Amino acid sequence: MDILRYNELYSEYMKMIKDIQRKVKYIERFQKRKERRAKEATDEEIEKLKLYEKDQDLDIKKYKIYNLPDNEVFIGQVANGYMDGVGKYIFNDNSEYIGEFKESYKEGLGTIKFFNGKVYIGNFKNGKMNGIGKMIYTSDDEYIGDWIDGKKQGFGIYNWNNGTVYVGDFHKNKMSGMGICYDEKGNLVYQGEWKNNLPHGQGTYIWNEGKRYIGDFLYGKKHGKGTFYLNNEIIYKGYFKYDKPCIFDKTLDEYFNIIK
């Protein structure tokens, strides 16, 4: 694995997310100014908006407040019966989206504040998080990277609140594929293959004091063929079974108990 390339991708994504945040802040300021003067929509306008039919004779360029059924609210502009341009949508669970709309879908850049305290800033398409975005969790963990249909998918960076960082591939919200992990001091801890948030496949695990393992992993455990190093000298080369060196498919402890 090319650690330098991962570090370059990390820098690229951090620059992109800063640019996205700057643009979203502009959208939020624009929305705030507009909604100060927004008037409530009529019942007829609300009725036409909720049908989402393109042939409706509803083209309102002025910002209006639409008090929709189920205690949901839209504040923004309408074009051809659709929510369009920059606007705000308040859901009945008190989640709130501020950003760009197209044909009543969240489309473009925006931010959504979820009812449970999570905040997403980034790209949307077809009403879902798609593209590059940042999610801030209630634990103060952060994810920056690719999203597909509301899930972490592709390349991403996950920062834990204790300073630990993962940089690499994600699949269906999980660390899966190739990736590297650093501890809170910036020391490389693991590089290699991942599956379901755990080292799985080929990889290298590094401890303090010159300890290093290179070989097979099975759901977070050293399992299969591998080599254990101490200060770059081979201490054991062979097979491991659930984190322990083994002979004839048995750990050394199991083997010595048999030959006693």
**Domain total of the chain:** 2
Same domain for 103 and 55, yes or no, is yes
**CA nearest neighbour of 134 among 30, 29, 8, 18:** 18
Same domain for 129 and 51, yes or no, is yes
- pLDDT tens string 152-168: 999 999 999 999 999 99
Least confident of 11-20, 59-68, 126-135: 59-68
Domain boundary among 128, 161, 194: 161
Same domain for 240 and 136, yes or no, is no
Interatomic CA distance for residues 214 and 184, integer angstroms: 22
Interatomic CA distance for residues 150 and 106, integer angstroms: 12
Domain boundary among 161, 194, 211: 161
**CA nearest neighbour of 168 among 194, 141, 150:** 194
Q: Let me know: does 220 contact 196? Beta carbons within 8 Å.
A: no
Q: Please report whether residue 166 resides in a domain.
A: no
Q: Please report whether residue 199 resides in a domain.
A: yes
Same domain for 233 and 135, yes or no, is no
What's the domain range around 86? 1-161
Same domain for 125 and 206, yes or no, is no
Supply 93's token pair. 């669970």
Least confident of 49-58, 115-124, 225-234, 244-253: 49-58
Residue 90 has pLDDT above 70, yes or no: yes
Same domain for 45 and 140, yes or no, is yes
Q: Please report whether residue 202 resides in a domain.
A: yes
Helix then strand count (H, E) for the chain reads 3, 19
Q: What is the CATH number of the domain that holds 123?
A: 2.20.110.10
Q: Please report whether residue 63 resides in a domain.
A: yes
- pLDDT tens string 29-72: 999 999 999 999 888 888 877 655 554 556 667 899 999 988 99
Least confident of 46-55, 139-148, 226-235: 46-55
Q: Please report whether residue 170 resides in a domain.
A: no
Q: Are strands 60-68 and 39-40 parallel, antiparallel or unpaired?
A: parallel
Average pLDDT over the chain reads 89
Same domain for 218 and 259, yes or no, is yes
Backbone angles phi, psi at 126, to 5 degrees: 55, 35
- pLDDT tens string 184-204: 999 999 999 999 999 999 999
Residue 256 has pLDDT above 50, yes or no: no
pLDDT bracket for residue 132 (50, 70, 90)? very high
The pLDDT of residue 250 is: 61
The pLDDT of residue 4 is: 82
Same domain for 38 and 132, yes or no, is yes
The pLDDT of residue 46 is: 83
Count how many Cα atoms sit within 13 Å of the Cα of residue 131 in the half-sphere of its side chain: 17
Q: Please report whether residue 169 resides in a domain.
A: no
- pLDDT tens string 69-86: 889 999 999 888 889 999
